Structure 1
Amino acid sequence: MTSAKPSASRAHRVGRWVLAAALALACAGGVGVVQPSLATSVHKVQQRDDVFLLPPPDQLRAMTLGYRAGAADLLWTKLILEYGIHWQEKRAFPEVTRYVDGILAVEPDFKTVYEFVDTLLLFAPGGATPERAREARAYLERGTRERPYDATVWLHYGQFIAFLAPSFLKDKAEIERWRIDGAAALTRAVELGADAQRSLAASTILSKAGERKASVEHLQRAYAMTDDPDTREQILLKLRMLEATAEAADATSVVDREWHGRFDFVSRSAALLIGPARSPAKCAGPASYDTPGCSRDWAGVIAERR
Protein backbone atom coordinates (compact mmCIF):
# COMPACT_ATOMS: atom_id res chain seq x y z
CA MET A 1 0.00 0.00 0.00
CA THR A 2 2.80 2.41 0.77
CA SER A 3 4.56 1.89 -2.62
CA ALA A 4 1.41 2.58 -4.65
CA LYS A 5 1.12 6.18 -3.51
CA PRO A 6 4.51 7.38 -4.91
CA SER A 7 3.79 5.63 -8.19
CA ALA A 8 0.46 7.42 -8.51
CA SER A 9 2.13 10.75 -7.67
CA ARG A 10 4.78 10.24 -10.34
CA ALA A 11 2.18 9.29 -12.89
CA HIS A 12 0.25 12.44 -12.06
CA ARG A 13 3.34 14.63 -12.56
CA VAL A 14 4.16 12.93 -15.84
CA GLY A 15 0.63 13.45 -17.01
CA ARG A 16 0.83 17.16 -16.26
CA TRP A 17 4.12 17.50 -18.16
CA VAL A 18 2.63 15.66 -21.14
CA LEU A 19 -0.40 17.92 -21.08
CA ALA A 20 1.79 21.05 -20.88
CA ALA A 21 3.96 19.85 -23.76
CA ALA A 22 0.89 19.08 -25.84
CA LEU A 23 -0.50 22.55 -25.16
CA ALA A 24 2.84 24.16 -26.08
CA LEU A 25 3.00 22.21 -29.32
CA ALA A 26 -0.57 23.16 -30.13
CA CYS A 27 0.18 26.86 -29.49
CA ALA A 28 3.33 26.72 -31.63
CA GLY A 29 1.38 25.06 -34.40
CA GLY A 30 -1.31 27.71 -34.17
CA VAL A 31 1.27 30.50 -34.38
CA GLY A 32 2.91 28.81 -37.34
CA VAL A 33 -0.41 28.62 -39.14
CA VAL A 34 -1.69 32.13 -38.32
CA GLN A 35 1.54 34.16 -38.39
CA PRO A 36 2.18 34.19 -42.19
CA SER A 37 -1.27 35.53 -42.99
CA LEU A 38 -1.07 38.12 -40.21
CA ALA A 39 2.40 39.25 -41.33
CA THR A 40 1.10 39.63 -44.88
CA SER A 41 -1.83 41.72 -43.66
CA VAL A 42 0.37 43.93 -41.50
CA HIS A 43 2.83 44.44 -44.37
CA LYS A 44 -0.01 45.48 -46.67
CA VAL A 45 -1.28 47.94 -44.06
CA GLN A 46 2.21 49.39 -43.59
CA GLN A 47 2.58 49.80 -47.34
CA ARG A 48 -0.73 51.62 -47.52
CA ASP A 49 -0.56 53.79 -44.40
CA ASP A 50 2.61 54.89 -42.59
CA VAL A 51 2.41 55.43 -38.87
CA PHE A 52 4.11 58.74 -38.03
CA LEU A 53 5.02 58.83 -34.36
CA LEU A 54 6.83 62.17 -34.00
CA PRO A 55 5.06 64.99 -32.12
CA PRO A 56 4.57 68.45 -33.70
CA PRO A 57 7.82 70.40 -34.25
CA ASP A 58 7.35 72.82 -31.34
CA GLN A 59 6.69 70.01 -28.88
CA LEU A 60 9.53 67.96 -30.31
CA ARG A 61 11.97 70.80 -29.64
CA ALA A 62 10.89 70.91 -25.99
CA MET A 63 11.13 67.12 -25.63
CA THR A 64 14.83 67.11 -26.51
CA LEU A 65 15.58 68.66 -23.08
CA GLY A 66 18.41 70.64 -24.62
CA TYR A 67 20.10 67.72 -26.39
CA ARG A 68 19.27 69.17 -29.78
CA ALA A 69 22.33 68.08 -31.74
CA GLY A 70 21.89 64.45 -30.68
CA ALA A 71 18.16 64.57 -31.38
CA ALA A 72 18.78 66.03 -34.85
CA ASP A 73 21.27 63.25 -35.66
CA LEU A 74 18.80 60.61 -34.44
CA LEU A 75 15.96 62.06 -36.51
CA TRP A 76 18.18 62.30 -39.58
CA THR A 77 19.15 58.63 -39.19
CA LYS A 78 15.48 57.68 -38.88
CA LEU A 79 14.63 59.74 -41.97
CA ILE A 80 17.32 58.08 -44.11
CA LEU A 81 16.24 54.63 -42.87
CA GLU A 82 12.59 55.27 -43.77
CA TYR A 83 13.60 56.74 -47.13
CA GLY A 84 15.58 53.60 -47.94
CA ILE A 85 12.75 51.29 -46.87
CA HIS A 86 10.25 53.17 -49.03
CA TRP A 87 12.61 52.95 -52.00
CA GLN A 88 13.06 49.22 -51.46
CA GLU A 89 9.29 48.69 -51.28
CA LYS A 90 8.71 51.12 -54.19
CA ARG A 91 6.10 53.19 -52.41
CA ALA A 92 5.65 56.91 -51.88
CA PHE A 93 7.05 58.66 -48.82
CA PRO A 94 4.68 61.57 -48.13
CA GLU A 95 5.91 62.00 -44.54
CA VAL A 96 9.39 63.16 -45.60
CA THR A 97 8.55 66.83 -45.04
CA ARG A 98 7.32 66.10 -41.51
CA TYR A 99 10.65 64.52 -40.67
CA VAL A 100 12.51 67.47 -42.20
CA ASP A 101 10.35 69.95 -40.29
CA GLY A 102 11.06 68.05 -37.08
CA ILE A 103 14.82 68.14 -37.65
CA LEU A 104 14.82 71.86 -38.45
CA ALA A 105 12.66 72.59 -35.41
CA VAL A 106 15.34 70.96 -33.26
CA GLU A 107 18.37 72.36 -35.10
CA PRO A 108 17.48 75.03 -37.70
CA ASP A 109 21.01 75.22 -39.15
CA PHE A 110 21.45 71.45 -39.60
CA LYS A 111 23.60 71.57 -42.73
CA THR A 112 23.12 67.99 -43.88
CA VAL A 113 19.39 68.55 -44.42
CA TYR A 114 20.06 71.47 -46.76
CA GLU A 115 22.53 69.36 -48.74
CA PHE A 116 20.10 66.49 -49.40
CA VAL A 117 16.54 67.77 -48.99
CA ASP A 118 16.07 68.24 -52.74
CA THR A 119 17.09 64.62 -53.34
CA LEU A 120 14.73 63.36 -50.63
CA LEU A 121 11.81 65.31 -52.07
CA LEU A 122 12.30 64.87 -55.80
CA PHE A 123 14.02 61.52 -56.24
CA ALA A 124 11.54 59.20 -54.58
CA PRO A 125 9.18 56.44 -55.74
CA GLY A 126 6.17 57.90 -57.45
CA GLY A 127 8.04 60.66 -59.26
CA ALA A 128 8.31 64.38 -58.61
CA THR A 129 5.89 67.23 -59.17
CA PRO A 130 6.30 71.01 -59.53
CA GLU A 131 4.92 71.37 -56.00
CA ARG A 132 7.71 69.17 -54.67
CA ALA A 133 10.27 71.30 -56.51
CA ARG A 134 8.84 74.42 -54.90
CA GLU A 135 8.96 72.78 -51.48
CA ALA A 136 12.61 71.88 -52.03
CA ARG A 137 13.40 75.46 -53.03
CA ALA A 138 11.68 76.78 -49.91
CA TYR A 139 13.83 74.54 -47.70
CA LEU A 140 17.02 75.54 -49.53
CA GLU A 141 16.13 79.22 -49.23
CA ARG A 142 15.73 78.69 -45.51
CA GLY A 143 19.20 77.17 -45.52
CA THR A 144 20.66 80.38 -46.96
CA ARG A 145 18.95 82.33 -44.17
CA GLU A 146 20.08 79.99 -41.40
CA ARG A 147 23.64 79.75 -42.80
CA PRO A 148 24.07 83.09 -44.63
CA TYR A 149 27.87 82.81 -44.95
CA ASP A 150 28.08 79.15 -45.94
CA ALA A 151 29.32 79.04 -49.54
CA THR A 152 28.39 75.36 -49.89
CA VAL A 153 24.74 75.98 -49.00
CA TRP A 154 24.51 78.93 -51.40
CA LEU A 155 26.19 76.93 -54.16
CA HIS A 156 23.84 73.98 -53.74
CA TYR A 157 20.83 76.29 -53.69
CA GLY A 158 21.98 78.10 -56.83
CA GLN A 159 22.76 74.92 -58.75
CA PHE A 160 19.39 73.44 -57.83
CA ILE A 161 17.18 76.31 -58.97
CA ALA A 162 19.32 77.19 -61.98
CA PHE A 163 19.94 73.75 -63.47
CA LEU A 164 17.98 70.93 -61.78
CA ALA A 165 14.64 72.35 -60.66
CA PRO A 166 13.59 73.78 -64.07
CA SER A 167 13.27 70.21 -65.40
CA PHE A 168 10.39 69.67 -62.96
CA LEU A 169 8.54 72.88 -63.86
CA LYS A 170 6.17 73.51 -66.73
CA ASP A 171 5.67 77.27 -66.91
CA LYS A 172 8.36 78.87 -69.11
CA ALA A 173 8.20 82.23 -67.34
CA GLU A 174 8.67 80.52 -63.97
CA ILE A 175 11.58 78.50 -65.31
CA GLU A 176 13.30 81.68 -66.52
CA ARG A 177 12.81 83.40 -63.18
CA TRP A 178 14.24 80.42 -61.35
CA ARG A 179 17.32 80.34 -63.57
CA ILE A 180 18.00 84.03 -62.98
CA ASP A 181 17.57 83.56 -59.22
CA GLY A 182 19.90 80.57 -59.40
CA ALA A 183 22.55 82.61 -61.18
CA ALA A 184 22.31 85.26 -58.46
CA ALA A 185 22.75 82.57 -55.80
CA LEU A 186 25.79 81.20 -57.61
CA THR A 187 27.34 84.65 -57.64
CA ARG A 188 26.81 84.90 -53.90
CA ALA A 189 28.42 81.49 -53.41
CA VAL A 190 31.51 82.63 -55.34
CA GLU A 191 31.72 85.78 -53.26
CA LEU A 192 31.67 83.63 -50.12
CA GLY A 193 34.52 81.45 -51.35
CA ALA A 194 33.11 78.89 -53.78
CA ASP A 195 35.04 77.97 -56.92
CA ALA A 196 35.29 81.04 -59.15
CA GLN A 197 34.59 78.79 -62.16
CA ARG A 198 30.93 78.97 -61.14
CA SER A 199 31.03 82.61 -62.18
CA LEU A 200 31.14 81.64 -65.83
CA ALA A 201 27.95 79.57 -65.64
CA ALA A 202 26.17 82.30 -63.68
CA SER A 203 27.22 85.02 -66.11
CA THR A 204 26.03 82.95 -69.07
CA ILE A 205 22.56 82.63 -67.54
CA LEU A 206 22.41 86.33 -66.71
CA SER A 207 23.60 87.33 -70.18
CA LYS A 208 20.99 85.17 -71.89
CA ALA A 209 18.34 86.74 -69.67
CA GLY A 210 19.42 90.22 -70.73
CA GLU A 211 20.97 91.00 -67.35
CA ARG A 212 24.24 92.38 -68.73
CA LYS A 213 24.86 94.74 -65.82
CA ALA A 214 24.40 92.01 -63.22
CA SER A 215 26.60 89.67 -65.23
CA VAL A 216 29.40 92.23 -65.52
CA GLU A 217 29.26 93.15 -61.84
CA HIS A 218 29.49 89.52 -60.82
CA LEU A 219 32.36 88.73 -63.20
CA GLN A 220 34.40 91.72 -62.13
CA ARG A 221 34.04 90.76 -58.46
CA ALA A 222 35.04 87.19 -59.26
CA TYR A 223 37.99 88.43 -61.30
CA ALA A 224 39.17 90.62 -58.44
CA MET A 225 38.86 87.90 -55.82
CA THR A 226 40.48 84.91 -57.53
CA ASP A 227 44.20 84.25 -57.81
CA ASP A 228 44.05 81.29 -60.17
CA PRO A 229 45.56 82.50 -63.48
CA ASP A 230 43.54 80.13 -65.68
CA THR A 231 40.28 81.15 -64.06
CA ARG A 232 41.14 84.84 -64.33
CA GLU A 233 41.95 84.41 -68.00
CA GLN A 234 38.58 82.78 -68.68
CA ILE A 235 36.73 85.47 -66.73
CA LEU A 236 38.65 88.21 -68.51
CA LEU A 237 37.75 86.66 -71.88
CA LYS A 238 34.11 86.67 -70.87
CA LEU A 239 34.38 90.31 -69.79
CA ARG A 240 35.91 91.25 -73.13
CA MET A 241 32.92 89.71 -74.85
CA LEU A 242 30.74 91.95 -72.68
CA GLU A 243 33.06 94.94 -73.32
CA ALA A 244 33.73 95.40 -69.62
CA THR A 245 37.46 94.81 -69.13
CA ALA A 246 38.02 98.30 -67.71
CA GLU A 247 35.46 97.63 -64.98
CA ALA A 248 37.27 94.42 -64.07
CA ALA A 249 40.56 96.30 -63.77
CA ASP A 250 38.90 98.85 -61.48
CA ALA A 251 37.52 96.08 -59.27
CA THR A 252 40.94 94.45 -59.05
CA SER A 253 42.60 97.73 -58.12
CA VAL A 254 40.13 98.22 -55.26
CA VAL A 255 41.17 94.91 -53.72
CA ASP A 256 44.85 95.45 -54.41
CA ARG A 257 44.84 98.92 -52.81
CA GLU A 258 43.24 97.49 -49.69
CA TRP A 259 45.72 94.63 -49.67
CA HIS A 260 48.85 96.78 -50.07
CA GLY A 261 47.58 99.49 -47.76
CA ARG A 262 46.71 97.27 -44.78
CA PHE A 263 47.82 93.66 -45.28
CA ASP A 264 51.02 93.99 -47.32
CA PHE A 265 52.79 91.52 -45.02
CA VAL A 266 50.57 88.60 -46.14
CA SER A 267 49.84 87.06 -49.53
CA ARG A 268 46.98 88.28 -51.65
CA SER A 269 45.06 85.04 -50.99
CA ALA A 270 45.45 85.53 -47.25
CA ALA A 271 44.26 89.13 -47.55
CA LEU A 272 41.17 87.95 -49.41
CA LEU A 273 40.53 85.44 -46.64
CA ILE A 274 40.92 88.06 -43.90
CA GLY A 275 38.43 90.37 -45.59
CA PRO A 276 38.25 94.16 -45.76
CA ALA A 277 39.25 96.31 -42.80
CA ARG A 278 36.41 97.88 -40.78
CA SER A 279 36.56 100.62 -38.17
CA PRO A 280 35.64 99.09 -34.76
CA ALA A 281 34.07 102.34 -33.57
CA LYS A 282 32.18 103.22 -36.74
CA CYS A 283 31.06 99.71 -37.61
CA ALA A 284 30.00 98.38 -34.20
CA GLY A 285 26.62 96.68 -33.94
CA PRO A 286 24.12 95.41 -36.50
CA ALA A 287 22.86 98.93 -37.22
CA SER A 288 26.14 99.66 -39.03
CA TYR A 289 25.68 96.97 -41.69
CA ASP A 290 24.45 99.50 -44.24
CA THR A 291 26.87 102.25 -43.22
CA PRO A 292 29.31 103.29 -45.99
CA GLY A 293 32.78 101.97 -45.24
CA CYS A 294 31.46 99.09 -43.13
CA SER A 295 31.11 96.42 -45.77
CA ARG A 296 31.57 92.94 -44.38
CA ASP A 297 32.90 91.38 -47.59
CA TRP A 298 34.94 92.30 -50.66
CA ALA A 299 31.86 92.47 -52.89
CA GLY A 300 30.53 95.35 -50.79
CA VAL A 301 33.89 97.16 -50.84
CA ILE A 302 34.11 96.85 -54.63
CA ALA A 303 30.58 98.17 -55.04
CA GLU A 304 31.28 101.16 -52.76
CA ARG A 305 34.64 102.25 -54.21
CA ARG A 306 34.16 101.79 -57.93
Structure 2
Amino acid sequence: MKHVRRFVATVAIVGVLAGIWSLRGRAMDQYLGTQTYEDIYYLPPPQWLEVMSLGHRRALADLIWLRALIYFGDEFANKGAVRHVFNYGDSMLALDPDFKRVYRWVGMAGVYTPTGSSTEFMERAIDVLRRGAERFPNDGDLAWDAGATITYDLLPHLPKDDPDREQLKAEGNEYMMAAARLGAGPDWLVMTNATSLRKLGQTDRELRHLEEMYAMIRDPKVKAQIEIRLTQLRDQAYAEAFRSANEEFEKRREEEFPYMPSTLYFFVADPIDATVGLEDPS
Protein backbone atom coordinates (compact mmCIF):
# COMPACT_ATOMS: atom_id res chain seq x y z
CA MET A 1 0.00 0.00 0.00
CA LYS A 2 2.83 2.39 0.86
CA HIS A 3 4.37 1.88 -2.57
CA VAL A 4 1.03 2.50 -4.24
CA ARG A 5 0.51 5.73 -2.28
CA ARG A 6 4.01 6.93 -3.15
CA PHE A 7 3.41 6.16 -6.80
CA VAL A 8 0.09 8.00 -6.79
CA ALA A 9 1.65 10.97 -4.99
CA THR A 10 4.52 11.08 -7.44
CA VAL A 11 2.16 10.95 -10.41
CA ALA A 12 0.05 13.70 -8.87
CA ILE A 13 3.08 15.93 -8.25
CA VAL A 14 4.34 15.39 -11.79
CA GLY A 15 0.89 16.21 -13.15
CA VAL A 16 0.67 19.40 -11.10
CA LEU A 17 4.14 20.49 -12.23
CA ALA A 18 3.33 19.77 -15.85
CA GLY A 19 0.11 21.78 -15.53
CA ILE A 20 1.96 24.70 -13.94
CA TRP A 21 4.61 24.63 -16.64
CA SER A 22 1.96 24.55 -19.36
CA LEU A 23 0.03 27.42 -17.78
CA ARG A 24 3.27 29.38 -17.26
CA GLY A 25 4.12 29.06 -20.94
CA ARG A 26 0.65 30.15 -22.01
CA ALA A 27 0.70 33.06 -19.59
CA MET A 28 4.08 34.20 -20.90
CA ASP A 29 2.91 33.92 -24.50
CA GLN A 30 -0.19 35.93 -23.67
CA TYR A 31 1.89 38.56 -21.84
CA LEU A 32 4.34 38.93 -24.73
CA GLY A 33 1.45 39.07 -27.17
CA THR A 34 -0.04 42.07 -25.38
CA GLN A 35 3.27 43.96 -25.27
CA THR A 36 3.70 46.80 -27.77
CA TYR A 37 6.76 48.89 -28.59
CA GLU A 38 6.94 52.13 -26.62
CA ASP A 39 9.78 54.65 -26.69
CA ILE A 40 9.42 55.77 -23.08
CA TYR A 41 12.14 57.01 -20.74
CA TYR A 42 11.33 56.03 -17.15
CA LEU A 43 14.32 57.34 -15.20
CA PRO A 44 14.09 60.46 -13.03
CA PRO A 45 16.25 63.54 -13.67
CA PRO A 46 20.04 63.08 -13.18
CA GLN A 47 20.12 65.14 -9.98
CA TRP A 48 17.56 62.80 -8.42
CA LEU A 49 19.59 59.77 -9.44
CA GLU A 50 22.59 61.11 -7.55
CA VAL A 51 20.53 61.12 -4.34
CA MET A 52 18.83 57.81 -5.06
CA SER A 53 22.18 56.07 -5.62
CA LEU A 54 22.86 56.34 -1.84
CA GLY A 55 26.53 56.89 -2.58
CA HIS A 56 26.83 54.00 -5.05
CA ARG A 57 26.95 56.27 -8.06
CA ARG A 58 29.18 54.13 -10.27
CA ALA A 59 27.16 51.02 -9.55
CA LEU A 60 23.95 52.78 -10.56
CA ALA A 61 25.66 54.15 -13.68
CA ASP A 62 26.62 50.59 -14.62
CA LEU A 63 23.00 49.45 -14.26
CA ILE A 64 21.79 52.32 -16.43
CA TRP A 65 24.48 51.42 -18.95
CA LEU A 66 22.99 47.94 -19.31
CA ARG A 67 19.51 49.39 -19.72
CA ALA A 68 20.78 51.91 -22.29
CA LEU A 69 22.30 49.15 -24.42
CA ILE A 70 19.00 47.22 -24.35
CA TYR A 71 17.12 50.41 -25.23
CA PHE A 72 19.41 51.07 -28.21
CA GLY A 73 18.94 47.50 -29.45
CA ASP A 74 15.16 47.77 -29.12
CA GLU A 75 15.18 51.00 -31.09
CA PHE A 76 17.01 49.34 -33.96
CA ALA A 77 14.74 46.31 -33.85
CA ASN A 78 11.67 48.56 -34.05
CA LYS A 79 13.22 51.25 -36.27
CA GLY A 80 12.79 53.85 -33.55
CA ALA A 81 14.17 57.39 -33.44
CA VAL A 82 16.48 56.77 -30.42
CA ARG A 83 15.05 59.94 -28.88
CA HIS A 84 16.26 59.23 -25.35
CA VAL A 85 19.90 58.36 -26.01
CA PHE A 86 20.99 61.71 -24.57
CA ASN A 87 18.82 61.22 -21.47
CA TYR A 88 20.61 57.96 -20.75
CA GLY A 89 23.97 59.55 -21.47
CA ASP A 90 23.34 62.55 -19.21
CA SER A 91 22.18 60.28 -16.38
CA MET A 92 25.25 58.04 -16.55
CA LEU A 93 27.71 60.93 -16.83
CA ALA A 94 26.06 62.79 -13.95
CA LEU A 95 26.65 59.73 -11.80
CA ASP A 96 30.11 58.94 -13.16
CA PRO A 97 31.81 61.68 -15.24
CA ASP A 98 34.79 59.36 -15.80
CA PHE A 99 32.67 56.71 -17.54
CA LYS A 100 34.73 57.06 -20.73
CA ARG A 101 32.80 54.53 -22.77
CA VAL A 102 29.60 56.54 -22.40
CA TYR A 103 31.04 59.56 -24.23
CA ARG A 104 31.94 57.44 -27.25
CA TRP A 105 28.65 55.50 -27.13
CA VAL A 106 26.51 58.65 -27.11
CA GLY A 107 28.63 60.07 -29.92
CA MET A 108 27.92 56.99 -32.00
CA ALA A 109 24.31 56.33 -30.96
CA GLY A 110 23.32 59.96 -31.52
CA VAL A 111 24.53 59.88 -35.12
CA TYR A 112 23.91 56.37 -36.42
CA THR A 113 20.21 55.85 -35.78
CA PRO A 114 17.71 53.56 -37.56
CA THR A 115 15.82 56.50 -39.04
CA GLY A 116 18.75 58.85 -39.66
CA SER A 117 19.85 61.81 -37.56
CA SER A 118 19.13 65.50 -37.97
CA THR A 119 21.95 68.03 -37.75
CA GLU A 120 20.62 69.06 -34.31
CA PHE A 121 20.94 65.45 -33.13
CA MET A 122 24.48 65.26 -34.51
CA GLU A 123 25.44 68.53 -32.83
CA ARG A 124 24.24 67.20 -29.48
CA ALA A 125 26.28 64.04 -30.00
CA ILE A 126 29.34 66.13 -30.87
CA ASP A 127 28.87 68.22 -27.72
CA VAL A 128 29.13 65.03 -25.66
CA LEU A 129 32.27 64.01 -27.56
CA ARG A 130 33.74 67.46 -26.91
CA ARG A 131 33.14 66.98 -23.20
CA GLY A 132 34.84 63.60 -23.34
CA ALA A 133 37.85 64.91 -25.27
CA GLU A 134 38.19 67.77 -22.79
CA ARG A 135 38.00 65.45 -19.80
CA PHE A 136 40.41 62.93 -21.33
CA PRO A 137 42.86 65.04 -23.40
CA ASN A 138 45.28 62.14 -23.79
CA ASP A 139 42.72 59.74 -25.23
CA GLY A 140 43.29 59.58 -28.98
CA ASP A 141 40.15 57.57 -29.66
CA LEU A 142 37.92 60.27 -28.20
CA ALA A 143 39.75 62.91 -30.24
CA TRP A 144 39.33 60.80 -33.37
CA ASP A 145 35.62 60.27 -32.70
CA ALA A 146 35.06 64.00 -32.19
CA GLY A 147 37.04 65.02 -35.26
CA ALA A 148 35.64 62.32 -37.54
CA THR A 149 32.04 63.01 -36.47
CA ILE A 150 32.42 66.72 -37.19
CA THR A 151 34.25 66.22 -40.49
CA TYR A 152 32.54 63.20 -42.00
CA ASP A 153 29.07 63.24 -40.43
CA LEU A 154 28.05 66.81 -39.58
CA LEU A 155 29.77 68.94 -42.24
CA PRO A 156 28.33 67.06 -45.26
CA HIS A 157 24.81 67.76 -43.92
CA LEU A 158 25.34 71.50 -43.41
CA PRO A 159 24.44 74.05 -46.12
CA LYS A 160 27.39 75.38 -48.12
CA ASP A 161 26.74 78.89 -46.80
CA ASP A 162 26.43 77.90 -43.14
CA PRO A 163 28.29 80.56 -41.09
CA ASP A 164 29.78 77.95 -38.75
CA ARG A 165 31.10 75.72 -41.52
CA GLU A 166 34.70 76.98 -41.61
CA GLN A 167 34.99 77.05 -37.84
CA LEU A 168 33.72 73.47 -37.58
CA LYS A 169 36.08 72.37 -40.33
CA ALA A 170 39.04 73.82 -38.42
CA GLU A 171 37.82 72.29 -35.15
CA GLY A 172 37.45 68.85 -36.71
CA ASN A 173 40.95 69.08 -38.10
CA GLU A 174 42.35 70.03 -34.70
CA TYR A 175 40.76 66.97 -33.12
CA MET A 176 42.10 64.70 -35.86
CA MET A 177 45.60 66.13 -35.55
CA ALA A 178 45.46 65.42 -31.82
CA ALA A 179 44.26 61.88 -32.56
CA ALA A 180 47.15 61.31 -34.96
CA ARG A 181 49.69 62.57 -32.41
CA LEU A 182 48.20 60.21 -29.81
CA GLY A 183 48.46 57.24 -32.17
CA ALA A 184 44.73 56.92 -32.86
CA GLY A 185 42.92 56.76 -36.17
CA PRO A 186 44.09 55.17 -39.43
CA ASP A 187 47.54 55.83 -40.95
CA TRP A 188 46.02 57.88 -43.79
CA LEU A 189 44.78 60.38 -41.19
CA VAL A 190 48.17 62.12 -41.28
CA MET A 191 47.85 62.98 -44.97
CA THR A 192 44.21 63.99 -44.50
CA ASN A 193 45.24 66.39 -41.75
CA ALA A 194 47.99 67.82 -43.94
CA THR A 195 45.56 68.39 -46.80
CA SER A 196 43.11 70.15 -44.45
CA LEU A 197 45.84 72.45 -43.16
CA ARG A 198 46.90 73.24 -46.72
CA LYS A 199 43.32 74.18 -47.64
CA LEU A 200 43.25 76.46 -44.60
CA GLY A 201 46.45 78.13 -45.83
CA GLN A 202 48.48 76.86 -42.85
CA THR A 203 51.41 75.35 -44.75
CA ASP A 204 53.84 75.98 -41.89
CA ARG A 205 51.69 73.87 -39.57
CA GLU A 206 51.32 71.27 -42.32
CA LEU A 207 55.11 71.01 -42.53
CA ARG A 208 55.52 70.64 -38.77
CA HIS A 209 52.71 68.09 -38.53
CA LEU A 210 54.20 65.88 -41.25
CA GLU A 211 57.67 66.08 -39.71
CA GLU A 212 56.25 65.24 -36.29
CA MET A 213 54.23 62.26 -37.53
CA TYR A 214 56.78 60.75 -39.92
CA ALA A 215 58.49 58.61 -37.26
CA MET A 216 55.17 57.33 -35.91
CA ILE A 217 53.80 55.99 -39.20
CA ARG A 218 54.48 52.35 -40.04
CA ASP A 219 52.73 52.07 -43.40
CA PRO A 220 55.50 52.39 -46.06
CA LYS A 221 53.07 53.83 -48.63
CA VAL A 222 51.99 56.60 -46.28
CA LYS A 223 55.63 57.25 -45.35
CA ALA A 224 56.48 57.67 -49.04
CA GLN A 225 53.58 60.13 -49.46
CA ILE A 226 54.82 62.12 -46.46
CA GLU A 227 58.36 62.23 -47.89
CA ILE A 228 57.10 63.59 -51.22
CA ARG A 229 54.97 66.24 -49.53
CA LEU A 230 57.77 67.27 -47.17
CA THR A 231 60.08 67.80 -50.16
CA GLN A 232 57.42 69.96 -51.84
CA LEU A 233 56.83 72.00 -48.70
CA ARG A 234 60.53 72.60 -48.05
CA ASP A 235 61.06 73.72 -51.63
CA GLN A 236 58.02 75.95 -51.30
CA ALA A 237 59.28 77.37 -48.00
CA TYR A 238 62.64 78.20 -49.53
CA ALA A 239 60.98 79.84 -52.55
CA GLU A 240 58.80 81.93 -50.24
CA ALA A 241 61.84 82.97 -48.17
CA PHE A 242 63.69 83.89 -51.36
CA ARG A 243 60.78 86.00 -52.63
CA SER A 244 60.44 87.83 -49.29
CA ALA A 245 64.16 88.49 -49.13
CA ASN A 246 64.16 89.84 -52.67
CA GLU A 247 61.27 92.21 -51.88
CA GLU A 248 63.09 93.44 -48.77
CA PHE A 249 66.28 93.89 -50.78
CA GLU A 250 64.47 96.01 -53.38
CA LYS A 251 62.77 98.07 -50.69
CA ARG A 252 66.11 98.91 -49.01
CA ARG A 253 67.68 99.74 -52.37
CA GLU A 254 64.90 102.21 -53.18
CA GLU A 255 65.26 103.80 -49.73
CA GLU A 256 69.08 104.06 -49.74
CA PHE A 257 70.17 104.25 -53.41
CA PRO A 258 67.12 104.53 -55.67
CA TYR A 259 69.33 105.55 -58.61
CA MET A 260 71.53 102.44 -58.32
CA PRO A 261 70.77 99.22 -60.27
CA SER A 262 70.02 96.14 -58.20
CA THR A 263 73.08 94.29 -59.49
CA LEU A 264 75.38 97.05 -58.29
CA TYR A 265 73.53 97.63 -55.00
CA PHE A 266 74.07 93.96 -54.14
CA PHE A 267 77.82 94.70 -53.82
CA VAL A 268 77.33 97.99 -51.97
CA ALA A 269 74.74 96.82 -49.39
CA ASP A 270 75.66 95.21 -46.11
CA PRO A 271 76.43 91.56 -47.04
CA ILE A 272 74.67 90.23 -43.94
CA ASP A 273 71.49 92.29 -44.50
CA ALA A 274 71.46 91.44 -48.19
CA THR A 275 71.13 87.71 -47.50
CA VAL A 276 68.63 87.80 -44.64
CA GLY A 277 65.87 85.26 -45.31
CA LEU A 278 67.90 83.24 -47.79
CA GLU A 279 69.17 80.72 -45.27
CA ASP A 280 68.35 77.09 -45.91
CA PRO A 281 64.98 76.59 -44.12
CA SER A 282 65.88 73.00 -43.29
What is the alpha-carbon root mean square deviation over aligned residues? 3.1
Taking a change above 3 Å as real, the CA distance of residues 244 and 152 of structure 1, as seen in their structure-2 partners, is farther
- The correspondence for 2:194, drawn from 203, 212, 227, is 203
1:123-159 Cα offsets, whole Å, 9 max, x none, are: 2233211101111110110011111111111122122
- Identity level (%): 30
The aligned residue for residue 143 of structure 2 is 154
1:187-231 Cα offsets, whole Å, 9 max, x none, are: 1122223365422111111212322233223222223x5274835
Letter paired with 1:51: I
Taking a change above 3 Å as real, the CA distance of residues 92 and 246 of structure 1, as seen in their structure-2 partners, is closer
- The correspondence for 1:191, drawn from 181, 186, 193, is 181
Letter paired with 2:201: G
The aligned residue for residue 235 of structure 1 is 226
The aligned residue for residue 217 of structure 1 is 208
Conserved in 1, the CA contact under 8 Å of 2:197 and 2:203? yes
- The correspondence for 2:216, drawn from 220, 226, 236, is 226
d(CA) in 1 for partners of 2:133 and 2:235? 30
d(CA) in 1 for partners of 2:236 and 2:100? 38
The aligned residue for residue 100 of structure 1 is 89
Taking a change above 3 Å as real, the CA distance of residues 60 and 244 of structure 1, as seen in their structure-2 partners, is farther
Letter paired with 2:209: H
Kindly report which structure 2 residues correspond to 1:1-306, keeping only aligned pairs within 5 A, or say none: 43=36, 46-47=37-38, 50-173=39-162, 174-194=164-184, 197-223=188-214, 225-226=215-216, 228=218, 230=220, 231-243=222-234
Q: Scaled by the length of structure 1, what TM-score is found?
A: 0.59
d(CA) in 2 for partners of 1:51 and 1:246? 60
State the shift of 1:90 in Å.
2.0
Letter paired with 2:114: P
Letter paired with 2:226: I
d(CA) in 1 for partners of 2:236 and 2:218? 18
Q: Scaled by the length of structure 2, what TM-score is found?
A: 0.64
Conserved in 2, the CA contact under 8 Å of 1:128 and 1:168? no
Taking a change above 3 Å as real, the CA distance of residues 168 and 72 of structure 1, as seen in their structure-2 partners, is farther
Taking a change above 3 Å as real, the CA distance of residues 116 and 245 of structure 1, as seen in their structure-2 partners, is farther
State the shift of 1:239 in Å.
1.8
d(CA) in 2 for partners of 1:221 and 1:120? 34
| Number of positions where the alignment pairs a residue of Structure 1 with one of Structure 2 | 210
Runs of at least 5 residues in structure 1 that lack an aligned partner in the other structure: 1-27, 248-305
Letter paired with 1:104: L
Taking a change above 3 Å as real, the CA distance of residues 171 and 59 of structure 1, as seen in their structure-2 partners, is farther
The aligned residue for residue 9 of structure 1 is none
